[in-house]
Amino acid sequence: MADTTSTCAAALRQVVVRYPGRPPIGPVDLTVAPGEIVAVVGASGAGKSTILRLLAGLEATSDGSVFRGDGRGRTGFVFQNATLMPWANIQSNVALPLELAGVPRDDARRRAAEALAAVGLGDRLAARPRQLSGGMAMRASLARALVTEPDLLLLDEPFAALDSVTRRRLIEDLHALWASRTPRPAIVFVTHDVEEAVYLAERTVVLDAASGRVTADLPSPGALPRPDGWRSDRSFREAVERLADELARSMAAPSGAGPEGVAA
Protein backbone atom coordinates (compact mmCIF):
# COMPACT_ATOMS: atom_id res chain seq x y z
CA MET A 1 0.00 0.00 0.00
CA ALA A 2 1.33 3.47 -0.85
CA ASP A 3 2.53 5.52 2.10
CA THR A 4 0.34 8.61 2.18
CA THR A 5 1.56 10.00 5.50
CA SER A 6 3.57 12.77 3.86
CA THR A 7 0.43 14.18 2.25
CA CYS A 8 -2.05 13.63 5.09
CA ALA A 9 -3.09 16.14 7.75
CA ALA A 10 -2.49 13.56 10.48
CA ALA A 11 -2.14 9.81 10.89
CA LEU A 12 -1.87 7.12 13.52
CA ARG A 13 0.08 4.03 12.51
CA GLN A 14 -0.30 0.92 14.67
CA VAL A 15 -0.55 3.11 17.73
CA VAL A 16 -0.91 1.42 21.11
CA VAL A 17 -1.51 3.23 24.40
CA ARG A 18 -1.15 1.35 27.68
CA TYR A 19 -2.76 2.70 30.82
CA PRO A 20 -2.35 0.87 34.08
CA GLY A 21 -5.18 -1.44 35.08
CA ARG A 22 -6.84 -1.89 31.70
CA PRO A 23 -6.15 -3.70 28.42
CA PRO A 24 -4.09 -1.75 25.87
CA ILE A 25 -5.90 0.60 23.50
CA GLY A 26 -5.09 -0.33 19.89
CA PRO A 27 -3.28 -0.92 17.68
CA VAL A 28 -5.09 2.00 16.01
CA ASP A 29 -4.63 3.03 12.37
CA LEU A 30 -6.22 6.25 11.19
CA THR A 31 -5.34 8.60 8.33
CA VAL A 32 -6.91 12.04 8.03
CA ALA A 33 -6.58 13.77 4.66
CA PRO A 34 -6.06 17.55 4.45
CA GLY A 35 -9.41 19.33 4.74
CA GLU A 36 -11.31 16.15 5.54
CA ILE A 37 -13.98 15.88 8.27
CA VAL A 38 -13.85 12.60 10.21
CA ALA A 39 -16.11 11.55 13.09
CA VAL A 40 -15.03 9.08 15.78
CA VAL A 41 -17.66 7.05 17.62
CA GLY A 42 -17.43 4.16 20.07
CA ALA A 43 -18.50 3.00 23.50
CA SER A 44 -17.65 5.04 26.55
CA GLY A 45 -14.04 4.23 27.43
CA ALA A 46 -13.19 2.83 23.97
CA GLY A 47 -10.44 5.43 23.51
CA LYS A 48 -12.01 8.28 21.51
CA SER A 49 -10.53 11.12 23.56
CA THR A 50 -7.22 9.26 23.68
CA ILE A 51 -7.12 9.35 19.87
CA LEU A 52 -7.70 13.11 19.86
CA ARG A 53 -4.99 13.61 22.47
CA LEU A 54 -2.60 11.47 20.38
CA LEU A 55 -3.33 13.58 17.29
CA ALA A 56 -2.78 16.74 19.32
CA GLY A 57 0.55 15.44 20.61
CA LEU A 58 -0.78 15.49 24.19
CA GLU A 59 -0.50 11.73 24.71
CA ALA A 60 2.53 9.46 24.50
CA THR A 61 2.30 6.23 22.53
CA SER A 62 3.49 2.94 23.95
CA ASP A 63 3.98 1.60 20.39
CA GLY A 64 3.48 2.89 16.87
CA SER A 65 3.78 6.36 15.36
CA VAL A 66 1.80 9.59 15.18
CA PHE A 67 2.26 11.76 12.08
CA ARG A 68 1.32 15.38 11.63
CA GLY A 69 1.58 16.06 7.89
CA ASP A 70 5.22 16.98 7.24
CA GLY A 71 5.43 17.90 10.92
CA ARG A 72 3.92 21.26 10.00
CA GLY A 73 0.76 23.04 10.85
CA ARG A 74 -1.15 24.14 13.87
CA THR A 75 -3.74 22.22 15.83
CA GLY A 76 -6.91 23.65 17.37
CA PHE A 77 -8.66 21.77 20.19
CA VAL A 78 -12.23 22.29 21.42
CA PHE A 79 -13.54 20.43 24.45
CA GLN A 80 -17.09 19.65 25.55
CA ASN A 81 -16.97 22.53 28.00
CA ALA A 82 -15.94 25.82 26.49
CA THR A 83 -12.99 26.18 28.96
CA LEU A 84 -12.82 29.97 28.64
CA MET A 85 -10.92 32.01 31.23
CA PRO A 86 -13.73 33.46 33.39
CA TRP A 87 -11.86 36.62 34.39
CA ALA A 88 -11.11 37.79 30.84
CA ASN A 89 -13.49 39.05 28.16
CA ILE A 90 -13.98 36.87 25.11
CA GLN A 91 -11.78 38.97 22.84
CA SER A 92 -8.90 38.44 25.28
CA ASN A 93 -9.76 34.75 25.53
CA VAL A 94 -9.61 34.33 21.76
CA ALA A 95 -6.48 36.49 21.40
CA LEU A 96 -4.56 34.40 23.94
CA PRO A 97 -3.29 31.59 21.64
CA LEU A 98 -1.92 34.25 19.27
CA GLU A 99 -0.28 36.22 22.06
CA LEU A 100 1.27 33.00 23.39
CA ALA A 101 2.63 32.41 19.87
CA GLY A 102 4.31 35.82 19.96
CA VAL A 103 1.85 37.79 17.83
CA PRO A 104 1.90 41.48 18.86
CA ARG A 105 -1.04 42.35 21.14
CA ASP A 106 -2.88 44.76 18.80
CA ASP A 107 -2.61 42.33 15.92
CA ALA A 108 -3.77 39.44 18.12
CA ARG A 109 -6.80 41.44 19.32
CA ARG A 110 -7.73 42.44 15.78
CA ARG A 111 -7.54 38.84 14.57
CA ALA A 112 -9.52 37.70 17.63
CA ALA A 113 -12.25 40.22 16.75
CA GLU A 114 -12.34 38.86 13.19
CA ALA A 115 -12.57 35.26 14.41
CA LEU A 116 -15.39 36.21 16.79
CA ALA A 117 -17.23 38.02 13.99
CA ALA A 118 -16.93 34.87 11.87
CA VAL A 119 -18.80 32.87 14.55
CA GLY A 120 -21.47 35.56 15.01
CA LEU A 121 -20.06 37.15 18.17
CA GLY A 122 -18.65 40.32 16.63
CA ASP A 123 -20.83 42.46 18.90
CA ARG A 124 -19.89 40.63 22.14
CA LEU A 125 -16.14 41.23 22.28
CA ALA A 126 -16.25 42.76 25.77
CA ALA A 127 -18.56 40.11 27.27
CA ARG A 128 -17.27 37.85 30.04
CA PRO A 129 -17.80 34.10 29.60
CA ARG A 130 -20.47 34.06 32.35
CA GLN A 131 -22.56 36.50 30.30
CA LEU A 132 -22.75 34.08 27.37
CA SER A 133 -25.24 31.27 26.75
CA GLY A 134 -23.86 27.74 26.32
CA GLY A 135 -24.09 28.06 22.54
CA MET A 136 -22.32 31.42 22.53
CA ALA A 137 -19.57 30.10 24.81
CA MET A 138 -19.05 27.20 22.40
CA ARG A 139 -18.89 29.66 19.49
CA ALA A 140 -16.23 31.63 21.37
CA SER A 141 -14.36 28.40 22.01
CA LEU A 142 -14.51 27.58 18.28
CA ALA A 143 -13.24 31.08 17.45
CA ARG A 144 -10.32 30.55 19.84
CA ALA A 145 -9.49 27.24 18.14
CA LEU A 146 -9.74 28.76 14.65
CA VAL A 147 -7.91 32.02 15.31
CA THR A 148 -4.51 30.43 14.70
CA GLU A 149 -5.80 29.11 11.35
CA PRO A 150 -5.09 25.47 12.24
CA ASP A 151 -4.81 22.82 9.56
CA LEU A 152 -6.15 20.29 12.05
CA LEU A 153 -9.13 20.98 14.31
CA LEU A 154 -9.89 18.44 17.05
CA LEU A 155 -13.35 18.55 18.62
CA ASP A 156 -14.15 16.41 21.68
CA GLU A 157 -17.95 16.22 21.95
CA PRO A 158 -18.22 19.99 21.50
CA PHE A 159 -22.01 20.09 21.25
CA ALA A 160 -22.94 17.43 23.81
CA ALA A 161 -24.02 19.90 26.50
CA LEU A 162 -26.20 22.01 24.17
CA ASP A 163 -29.91 21.79 23.38
CA SER A 164 -30.81 20.22 20.04
CA VAL A 165 -31.73 23.49 18.27
CA THR A 166 -28.48 25.22 19.26
CA ARG A 167 -26.59 22.10 18.39
CA ARG A 168 -28.01 21.91 14.87
CA ARG A 169 -27.32 25.60 14.29
CA LEU A 170 -23.71 25.19 15.42
CA ILE A 171 -23.22 22.22 13.12
CA GLU A 172 -24.39 24.32 10.16
CA ASP A 173 -22.08 27.13 11.30
CA LEU A 174 -19.16 24.76 11.62
CA HIS A 175 -19.72 23.52 8.06
CA ALA A 176 -19.89 27.13 6.83
CA LEU A 177 -16.70 28.10 8.71
CA TRP A 178 -14.89 25.04 7.39
CA ALA A 179 -16.03 25.74 3.81
CA SER A 180 -15.01 29.41 4.02
CA ARG A 181 -11.36 28.70 4.89
CA THR A 182 -8.60 28.34 2.36
CA PRO A 183 -7.17 25.81 2.77
CA ARG A 184 -9.90 24.03 4.70
CA PRO A 185 -8.80 22.56 8.02
CA ALA A 186 -9.07 18.82 8.58
CA ILE A 187 -11.52 18.17 11.41
CA VAL A 188 -11.63 15.12 13.68
CA PHE A 189 -14.49 15.13 16.13
CA VAL A 190 -15.72 12.75 18.78
CA THR A 191 -19.43 12.27 19.31
CA HIS A 192 -21.83 9.80 20.89
CA ASP A 193 -24.54 10.81 18.44
CA VAL A 194 -24.67 8.77 15.22
CA GLU A 195 -26.92 11.31 13.45
CA GLU A 196 -24.48 14.08 14.27
CA ALA A 197 -21.60 11.95 12.96
CA VAL A 198 -23.28 11.19 9.62
CA TYR A 199 -24.46 14.78 9.17
CA LEU A 200 -21.27 16.58 10.13
CA ALA A 201 -18.58 14.24 8.82
CA GLU A 202 -17.53 12.90 5.45
CA ARG A 203 -16.78 9.55 7.09
CA THR A 204 -17.03 7.99 10.53
CA VAL A 205 -14.68 5.54 12.19
CA VAL A 206 -16.04 3.19 14.84
CA LEU A 207 -13.83 2.04 17.71
CA ASP A 208 -14.16 -1.40 19.23
CA ALA A 209 -15.33 -1.12 22.84
CA ALA A 210 -12.82 -3.64 24.16
CA SER A 211 -9.66 -2.96 22.15
CA GLY A 212 -10.09 0.59 20.84
CA ARG A 213 -9.21 -0.59 17.34
CA VAL A 214 -11.00 0.83 14.33
CA THR A 215 -13.67 -1.75 13.43
CA ALA A 216 -15.50 0.20 10.70
CA ASP A 217 -14.91 3.23 8.50
CA LEU A 218 -18.17 4.38 6.91
CA PRO A 219 -18.53 7.20 4.37
CA SER A 220 -21.41 9.64 4.76
CA PRO A 221 -23.36 10.10 1.53
CA GLY A 222 -23.67 13.46 -0.23
CA ALA A 223 -21.61 16.63 -0.23
CA LEU A 224 -20.89 19.24 2.46
CA PRO A 225 -22.40 21.57 3.52
CA ARG A 226 -25.70 19.66 3.68
CA PRO A 227 -28.71 20.87 1.68
CA ASP A 228 -31.83 22.02 3.55
CA GLY A 229 -33.93 19.15 4.83
CA TRP A 230 -31.19 16.56 4.33
CA ARG A 231 -32.02 14.88 7.65
CA SER A 232 -35.28 13.64 6.07
CA ASP A 233 -33.44 12.24 3.06
CA ARG A 234 -33.46 8.48 2.67
CA SER A 235 -29.68 8.34 2.08
CA PHE A 236 -29.14 10.10 5.43
CA ARG A 237 -31.53 7.81 7.33
CA GLU A 238 -29.93 4.70 5.82
CA ALA A 239 -26.42 5.89 6.68
CA VAL A 240 -27.52 6.57 10.26
CA GLU A 241 -28.98 3.05 10.55
CA ARG A 242 -25.80 1.50 9.12
CA LEU A 243 -23.63 3.41 11.56
CA ALA A 244 -25.91 2.56 14.51
CA ASP A 245 -25.60 -1.14 13.58
CA GLU A 246 -21.80 -0.91 13.41
CA LEU A 247 -21.70 0.92 16.74
CA ALA A 248 -23.86 -1.77 18.35
CA ARG A 249 -21.54 -4.44 16.90
CA SER A 250 -18.49 -2.64 18.30
CA MET A 251 -20.02 -2.86 21.77
CA ALA A 252 -20.81 -6.57 21.51
CA ALA A 253 -17.44 -7.60 22.95
CA PRO A 254 -16.87 -11.38 23.25
CA SER A 255 -16.80 -11.00 27.04
CA GLY A 256 -20.20 -9.31 26.88
CA ALA A 257 -18.82 -6.06 28.22
CA GLY A 258 -16.50 -3.30 27.10
CA PRO A 259 -13.82 -1.68 29.23
CA GLU A 260 -16.35 0.44 31.09
CA GLY A 261 -18.87 -2.38 31.46
CA VAL A 262 -20.91 -1.57 28.35
CA ALA A 263 -23.37 -4.41 28.00
CA ALA A 264 -23.55 -6.26 24.70
Residues that bind ligand ATP (CB under 6 A): 19, 22, 25, 42, 44-50, 259
- Please, is 225 exposed, middle or buried when counting C-beta atoms within 10 Å of its C-beta (0-12, 13-18, 19+)? middle
8 Å CB contact between 192 and 156: no
- Please, is 60 exposed, middle or buried when counting C-beta atoms within 10 Å of its C-beta (0-12, 13-18, 19+)? exposed
Q: To the nearest whole angstrom, how small is the minimum distance from the Cβ of residue 156 to ligand ATP? A: 8
Q: To the nearest whole angstrom, how small is the minimum distance from the Cβ of residue 160 to ligand ATP? A: 10
β 37-42/186-190 pair status = parallel
Q: To the nearest whole angstrom, how small is the minimum distance from the Cβ of residue 49 to ligand ATP? A: 3
Q: Which is nearer to ligand ATP, 195 or 233 (by Cβ)?
A: 195
Distances (CA, A) of 176 to 24, 120, 169, 170: 38, 12, 11, 10
Q: To the nearest whole angstrom, how small is the minimum distance from the Cβ of residue 39 to ligand ATP? A: 13
Q: Which is nearer to ligand ATP, 152 or 262 (by Cβ)?
A: 262
Q: Which is nearer to ligand ATP, 84 or 262 (by Cβ)?
A: 262
Bond into 27 cis (ω within 30): yes
Q: Which is nearer to ligand ATP, 80 or 233 (by Cβ)?
A: 80
Q: To the nearest whole angstrom, how small is the minimum distance from the Cβ of residue 22 to ligand ATP? A: 5
Q: Which is nearer to ligand ATP, 46 or 108 (by Cβ)?
A: 46
Q: Compute CA 246 distance to the chain's CA centroid, rounded to the nearest angstrom.
A: 20
Distance CA 100, CA 35 (A): 25
